[in-house]
Structure 1
Amino acid sequence: MLQLFFAVAFSAVPLTLYIPPIRSLNLFVETIEDLLRQMAVHTVRTYPRIRFGFSRILNNLLHLAR
């Protein structure tokens, strides 16, 4: 039983290197939220233009197919 405990303990130790500390995780989450907020502003502004351009391309393709 002691061998199993040590095997599990020593196999889990390298995983702690990949998990950031909580203080770093908060900064990461804050940065991601800020990035998403900035992207939302640009997405709302460019989405109608992309949709309009895509519809014009489809209309041209459909008229050429006739």
Structure 2
Amino acid sequence: MLQLLMAMAFSAAPLTLYVPPVRSLSLFVETMETLCRECAPYSHGAVARLRLGLSRIFAGLARALR
């Protein structure tokens, strides 16, 4: 009975629903690369502002803990 339960729990059949077929994987990767290329100019400024904000927060925490 335990073996049947383990076989059902770790069945690989549901995992195939999450993995795209190989033939469409290259299209997906190409689309994601295009999306990243198009978003790069906009995200660069956001990343810079995020880093500046985090550095100010950490500097304030460092001063408060002294």
TM-score relative to the length of structure 1? 0.52
Which structure 2 segments of 5+ residues have no match?
1-18
Letter in 2 for 1:30: E
Relative to structure 1, the CA distance from residue 21 to residue 48 in structure 2 (aligned partners, 3 Å threshold; closer, same or farther) is closer
Matches of 2:32 and 2:52 in 1, distance apart? 30
Q: How many residues align?
A: 49
| CA spacing shift, 1:33–1:64, aligned 2, 3 Å | same
Instruction: Confirm whether residue 38 of structure 1 aligns to residue 41 of structure 2.
Output: no
Report the CA distance between 1:19 and its aligned residue: 6.6
Percentage of pairs with the same residue: 42
Which digits, 9 at most, give the CA deviation of each residue in 1:15-51, with x for residues without a partner? xxx67464x4553233112111123222211121011
Write the mapping of 1:11-50 to structure 2, written as runs, cut at 5 A: 20=21, 22=23, 24-50=24-50
> Structure 1 residues 27 and 57 mapped into 2: Cα distance closer, same or farther (>3 Å)?
same
